[in-house]
Amino acid sequence: MRIKGECSRSGLRARSANITACKGFTTLAAPRAGSGHPRMKTALITGITGQDGSHLAEFLLEKGYRVVGMARRASVDHNERIAHLLDRIEVRQGDLLDQGSLVTILEDVAPDELYNLGAMSFVPTSWAQPVLTGEFTGIGVTRILEAVRAVKPDVRFYQASSSEMFGKVQESPQSEKTPFWPRSPYGVAKVYGHWITVNYRESYGIHASSGILFNHEGPRRGLEFVTRKISSAAARIKLGLQEKVSLGNLDARRDWGYAGDYVRAMWLMLQQDEPGDYVIATGEAHTVRDFCQIAFEHVGLNFEDHVVLDPTLLRPAEVDTLLGDATRARNVLGWQPEVSFGDLARLMVDADVALQRRLVGRGGDA
């Protein structure tokens, strides 16, 4: 499905009189004044092609939003997570490294809400590319906030902060008041992005909130992330497509939740009269070993027969335990997770079994 070029015919369904076509995009126009309908809100999502971006786009469409996503221009199609949404959303080219593109998108889209999910999000890669990680994940936040300040200062802004900011934790569980001690270039960049968001909120009165999200997973997680690596391996081993999987620290403890639950918290933050920062977490910590056990048992296997420990997969500076305290989110936002840790592991394995069977049926392999 093309993003740029002539509008796709499949996107021109005559669902209402509010659909207009333009060269390059299919646009859901807001209802005309006096039509008797409430004005359709517009949300702009950076990083819409990622796990969280795709879940958030689905959620906002269900809420009746016009959804516009920003994605970097690439020679390879990265739209697999939003392929089922492309006839209902707009995707614009933009780059967190390019200030001009951010200004142009804000001028053209005029969003009511802006969700900044774009980042280099794989922690191990941040050691290999620390400067680029800082540019995207740290300075990129400043660029988009500067564009907001210049073009759309009344937008409600969400910044995707991370539990990796806590790193070498100073207390457990971690709350909004816990000091940061990041242990990776990614974590350091996220701390910068977090504090620059606070700074623009306090300095310029922007309705800017940060969600300090603990690990959140699902079938749309990239294969490089440990939970998806495990669920995919369990599925492939069950189907006879591989025999072993290499992992690093099995004793690392994380507070894991379901990504679909967490995007609901993002939206709730921007519905508040006052902006603020919120820890989003389940309040339960589990080890990588725990995830392995549930995932492999779900397909009738013993993970100890298939997991190989690989010291090269250990982090240079390990984060041993992350455990979140989401009391403020529960009390202020009325948010709480719905998918348990065990159900999360099992639904990921089920999705990967189904995926592998489809690939085998097509004569392919992943």
Please list the active-site residues.
162, 164, 186
Q: E-strand spans in 72-163?
A: 90-93, 113-116, 156-162
Question: Which pair of structure tokens corresponds to residue 215?
Answer: 């690990």
Do 57 and 89 contact (CB within 8 A), yes or no? yes
Q: Which amino acid is at 271?
A: Q
Radius of gyration of the chain (CA): 21
Angle 94-85-359 from CA coordinates, rounded to 5° = 105
Q: What one-character-per-residue DSSP string does 143-206 give? A: HHHHHHHHH-TTSEEEEEEEGGGT-S-SSSSB-TTSPP---SHHHHHHHHHHHHHHHHHHHH--
Do 119 and 160 contact (CB within 8 A), yes or no? yes
**3-state secondary structure string, 304-342?**
HHCEEECHHHCCCCCCCECCECCHHHHHHHCCCCCCCHH
Please count the residues of the chain: 366
Three-class SS state of 249: coil
Report which of 44, 212, 223 is spatially closest to residue 118, judged by C-alpha positions.
44
Nearest-angstrom CA–CA distance, 270 and 57: 15
Q: Which amino acid is at 317?
A: A
Assign 3-state DSSP to the chain and report helix, strand, coil percentages, each to 5.
40, 15, 40
Return the exposure string of 109-139: e unless at least 16 CB atoms fall within 10 Å of the residue's CB, then b.
bebbbbbbbbbbbebbbbeeebeebbbbbbb
